[in-house]
Chain A
Amino acid sequence: MEKELKYVDLVEQPISMHPKKFALWLFMVTVVMIFAALTSAYIVRQAEGNWLEYDLPEIFWFTSGIVLLSSVFLHWAYISAKKDNLLQLRIGMSIAVALGIAFLVGQWYSWVALVDRQVFFVGNPSGSFLYVFTGLHGLHLISGVIFLIIVLISSFRYKVHSQSMDTMEMATSYWHFLGGLWIYLFMFLLLNH
């Protein structure tokens, strides 16, 4: 099997990248464009006045911490997988998944906090935008959690190890990307509020 692979590699272009990984990066570009559009819409709309001012829910600080922490654990799992330390891989991934779900729950409570402040989805766009940002990001994060769970299951089936890292690498980059995206959104909201 290895011999065959070697041969096929020889036929292929030497500079090429794993196509699926590349496609994932392109998908992340599209997600960036969606949020770039929404955040610029936010700025344009804010500049026109009639803008409801309110405090951001404090829980965002906690959820930001959680999402960063889950990225750290996932990266630990990723490094462990590279070293074929399967136990650490499973522990790291399980914690990352748990933290990911905790993040989602936290984001839900941020909506509860917003409602307590009389900021509703329907009303002044300044509030609606916040719901759209968190909601759309949450949807992407759910897809990330599902992806992580799939990789977690395959790690229990001994399908993730140093020789087979493709899906693990993809899951890790996607998760880091989603975490980074949330940090961007949070920073953006802090600066443009």
Chain B
Amino acid sequence: MATASVATHDTAHDHHDHEHHDNFVTKYIFSTDHKMIGKQFLLTGIFWALIGGLLSVLFRLQLGFPDMNLEWLRPLLGGWITETGQLDQTFYLALVTMHGTIMVFFVLTAGLSGTFSNFLIPLQIGARDMASGFMNMLSYWFFFISSVIMFISLFIKTGPAGGGWVVYPPLSALEQAIPGSGLGMTLWLIAMTFFIASSLLGGINYITTVINLRTKGMSFSRLPLTIWAFFLTAVIGLLSFPVLFAAALLLVFDRSFGTSFYLSDIYIGGEALPNTGGSPVLYQHLFWFLGHPEVYIVLLPALGITSEVIATNSRKPIFGYKAMIISMLGITILSFIVWAHHMFVSGMNPFLGSIFMFLTLIIAIPSAVKVFNYLTTLWRGNLIFTPAMLFSIGLVSFFISGGLTGIFLGNSAIDIQLHDTYFVVAHFHLVMGSASFFGLVAGVYHWFPKMFGRMMDARLGYVHFWLTFVGVYMVFFPMHYIGIAGFPRRYYSWTGFEFSNMYTDLNMFVSVAAIITFAAQFIFLFNFFYSMYRGRKATQNPWRSNTLEWTTPIHPGHGNWPGEIPTVYRWPYDYSKPGAKEDFIPQTVPLSATPESNLPHEQELVKLELEIMKEESEALVANEAKES
């Protein structure tokens, strides 16, 4: 580092040198190092993604091949295969429920935000670690406990929760309703409580770290967009997860203590239940107050990762840095005032529906700004098609095609026809599911060298990308047609209805595509684990990127930088700056060192910069004199 402020004596760093006597347990299991915790989240997320994907393949078998004999699955599913070799109907409900829960919360919230917020925040803002390493460790282990409980619920006799991932009462509140509302539902609620605690602990840490532990010179206007995205994601989580907790708490009271928050005037088998005075719509309000922001908790980190990857691999500054931040802020705020668009047909006041429709459609503006900025960043850039870059471009594609259908669904009148059909399934799987998943994968490809000091194989990455990209469209595009035809989601069988039984071939096609796409993920898995041990050794800055994490050693220790934390002198997107020798200028290079490429207003800043550096070196000298 050619910066004047790098000191030879640093008390903070001396202190950190003493912490390298980790044994196996403190290094790999109960680690407080944000990098290890990030990897723990990643591996757990990958595990859950496999389970979640496998469940979707199981119910796709039922939807695509309703007459198929599934006897060969008996070793895996046991009693859930009926005597005639069919998938058990209540288990089908459990499958879709658990697929949703696992993918939304365990993979795309914990696996995405947990991995990259933990791994990248301290590295990109220039901090030794998170604000509280202990809380961070606790966050992972709460997630782990939650995972264990949710995993156990897959194997109990009555099956896991079966009321859909939104667990609407009264279905979820009454044990008599379906087998999945029994013990499975109880375990679901306990697991989610731990999950909420984990998310909140993580979120508090992310926000505190971003606000308080940025290195010198790292102002908010110099933060990489990844950090902005993680920061806003954490803010959204902090404000919305407590509301889910409140909703779940009342549900627990209704289920286990006999209160009537959500239950009223229900007859089961001709017998009236004692509960009166409850309101099931109340639950929907509370749930969707989390549920809608949750969409952005899932999506924003992926968008942040994409900004970084696209700018780096286009060798161009991100187009509209401020516009990106403002649109993310806009999305953050809007995400809290649109929740009732999930409830247009719940019997809600139609006038209220119009208001929520209006607010919902406003979200199209910041989203379109982001898409525009991605495309203009790519426009005439010196594109380098790394696997991460391909997945990021794939994300932009899904964000557009899935976002457009959001405009349809946001209209309360059109929603009467489309709600709860496969059109909705297609919409959110493209815009939220696949887009976020692509962001996650792009992040893994891009930061793998930083995580493990080795490169992933690019060729396998290309194969993985094309199979997945084409596969995802093959799976979800046909669903739009099935949905417009009116076929409802979560139905076990659609062959019994005249209007939908002509879609047999289409459903078969979707199922085959889903199986191929799922199989393609094993290429990624192989690449991931093989490269971890056998991959080509990475250089310090393999993508020639500007951000701080690439100034750390190839295998950063606990504390990230040996010696002093580097100071930041510029924004992170100085790619292909006219006049510069290289096509990238890292954030740690002072403006005074690059007179050939400075813009007029930056030349002004050079003076200020030199003054600050001078003061600092004086302070350092004075300090050393005092010490010796």
**B207, B246, B260: the one within 8 Å of A38 (CB):** B246
- B285–A41 touching, CB < 8 Å: yes
In the complex, what's the smallest C-beta–C-beta distance from A130 to chain B, in angstroms? Answer: 12
Interface string of A12-53 (1 = CB under 8 A from B): 110011111011001101110110111001001100101110
- A128–B260 touching, CB < 8 Å: yes
- A13–B214 touching, CB < 8 Å: yes
- B242–A30 touching, CB < 8 Å: yes
- B242–A31 touching, CB < 8 Å: yes
How far, in angstroms, from A101 to B84 measured CA to CA in the complex?
63
In the complex, what's the smallest C-beta–C-beta distance from B224 to chain A, in angstroms? Answer: 17
**Tally of chain A residues near chain B (CB < 8 A):** 43
Q: Does residue B542 face the partner (Cβ distance < 8 Å to A)?
A: no
- A125–B131 touching, CB < 8 Å: no
Known: A17-B211, A19-B212, A132-B250. Is A11-B285 also a contact (CB below 8 A)?
Answer: no
* Chain B residues whose C-beta falls within 8 Å of the C-beta of A33 in the assembled complex: 238-240, 242-243
In the complex, what's the smallest C-beta–C-beta distance from A174 to chain B, in angstroms? Answer: 14
* Chain A residues whose C-beta falls within 8 Å of the C-beta of B258 in the assembled complex: 122
Q: Does residue A190 face the partner (Cβ distance < 8 Å to B)?
A: no
- With CB as the reference atom, state the residue of chain B lying closest to A44: B282
**B132, B264, B285: the one within 8 Å of A19 (CB):** B132
* Stretch with Cβ within 8 A of A (4 or more), from B273-281, B353-361, B439-447: B273-281
In the complex, what's the smallest C-beta–C-beta distance from B303 to chain A, in angstroms? Answer: 23
Q: Does residue B247 face the partner (Cβ distance < 8 Å to A)?
A: yes
Majority SS at the chain A contact face: helix
- A13–B212 touching, CB < 8 Å: yes
* Chain B residues whose C-beta falls within 8 Å of the C-beta of A19 in the assembled complex: 131-132, 208-209, 212-213
In the complex, what's the smallest C-beta–C-beta distance from B587 to chain A, in angstroms? Answer: 15
How far, in angstroms, from A29 to B285 measured CA to CA in the complex?
20
In the complex, what's the smallest C-beta–C-beta distance from B499 to chain A, in angstroms? Answer: 36
Interface string of B128-170 (1 = CB under 8 A from A): 0001100100000000000000000000000000000000000
How far, in angstroms, from A41 to B246 measured CA to CA in the complex?
9
**B207, B246, B564: the one within 8 Å of A11 (CB):** B564
Q: Does residue B200 face the partner (Cβ distance < 8 Å to A)?
A: yes
* Chain A residues whose C-beta falls within 8 Å of the C-beta of B289 in the assembled complex: 37
How far, in angstroms, from A89 to B549 measured CA to CA in the complex?
46
In the complex, what's the smallest C-beta–C-beta distance from A26 to chain B, in angstroms? Answer: 4
Residues of chain A from 55 to 87 with CB closer than 8 A to chain B in the complex: none
Known: A34-B246, A41-B285. Is A128-B259 also a contact (CB below 8 A)?
Answer: yes
- B276–A8 touching, CB < 8 Å: no
How far, in angstroms, from A112 to B175 measured CA to CA in the complex?
31
Q: Does residue B204 face the partner (Cβ distance < 8 Å to A)?
A: yes
- A124–B209 touching, CB < 8 Å: no
Known: A19-B212, A23-B131. Is A132-B205 also a contact (CB below 8 A)?
Answer: no
Residues of chain B from 275 to 326 with CB closer than 8 A to chain A in the complex: 276-279, 282, 285-286, 289
Known: A11-B12, A34-B245, A132-B253. Is A123-B279 also a contact (CB below 8 A)?
Answer: no
* Chain B residues whose C-beta falls within 8 Å of the C-beta of A158 in the assembled complex: none
**B11, B208, B213, B276: the one within 8 Å of A7 (CB):** B11
Known: A19-B132, A37-B243, A38-B246. Is A11-B212 also a contact (CB below 8 A)?
Answer: no
How far, in angstroms, from A126 to B276 measured CA to CA in the complex?
11
Interface string of A127-150 (1 = CB under 8 A from B): 011001000100000000000000
Q: Does residue A4 face the partner (Cβ distance < 8 Å to B)?
A: yes
Give the most central of A18, A26, A45: most B CB within 10 Å.
A26
* Stretch with Cβ within 8 A of A (4 or more), from B42-50, B68-76, B468-476, B619-627: B619-627
- B259–A121 touching, CB < 8 Å: yes
Binding site for A on B (CB under 8 A): 10-12, 131-132, 135, 200, 203-205, 207-209, 211-216, 218, 238-243, 245-247, 249-250, 253, 257-261, 264, 276-279, 282, 285-286, 289, 564-565, 616, 619, 623, 626-627
8 contacts across the A-B interface (CB closer than 8 A):
A3-B623, A16-B211, A23-B135, A23-B204, A27-B200, A41-B246, A125-B259, A128-B253
Across the A-B interface, the 10 shortest Cβ-Cβ residue pairs: A19-B131, A33-B242, A37-B246, A37-B243, A16-B212, A34-B242, A26-B204, A122-B258, A128-B259, A30-B242
Q: A17-B211, A44-B279 are in contact. List 6 more A-B contacts (CB 8 A).
A: A11-B10, A13-B212, A16-B212, A26-B203, A37-B246, A122-B258
